[in-house]
Amino acid sequence: MTIALETQEKAKEIILAGLRAQSHGSVRFCDAESEVAWNAIDEEFLDVSVIYEGTHEDLNMHSLNALHGEIEPQLLEIGISQIPSVSCIPKAEYDRLLSERTAARPWDRPG
């Protein structure tokens, strides 16, 4: 059973709201991407990449590690029972990866 796109979108909103409620200095969480992945025993989970602006040093690792416990009830409510994998990627790096991905797929370019 694949996690529906609507559920993925809700999960991303919950994760972003949870991160934005935490104290991370100058860091601003811009957006998130998710994809369905499978663990070692073939259980589905969400692999979420959160895009942020600011200095990496301002990310509060203690708060990041506590995020799941803070948002777990909301995730369960929308049907996410496996702990999502959440990683943070700087916006500049994300933009570079997006450009590389677009350059590698000329059929996706307009024109």
pLDDT in tens, 12-43: 999 999 999 999 989 999 999 999 999 888 88
- From the list 15, 12, 99, 93, the residue with the least C-alpha distance to 54 is 93
pTM of the model: 0.85
**Is pLDDT at 96 greater than 70 in this prediction?**
yes
Q: Pull the structure tokens for residue 64.
A: 């990041």
pLDDT on residue 16? 97
Mean model confidence pLDDT for the chain? 90
**Is pLDDT at 1 greater than 80 in this prediction?**
no
CA distance 35 to 109: 22
CA distance 78 to 82: 12
Q: Which residue has the higher pLDDT, 104 or 7?
A: 7
Q: Pull the structure tokens for residue 106.
A: 């000329």
pLDDT on residue 109? 56
Confidence of residue 2 (pLDDT cuts 50, 70, 90): confident
pLDDT on residue 18? 96
Average pLDDT over residues 93-107: 83
Q: Which residue has the higher pLDDT, 111 or 73?
A: 73
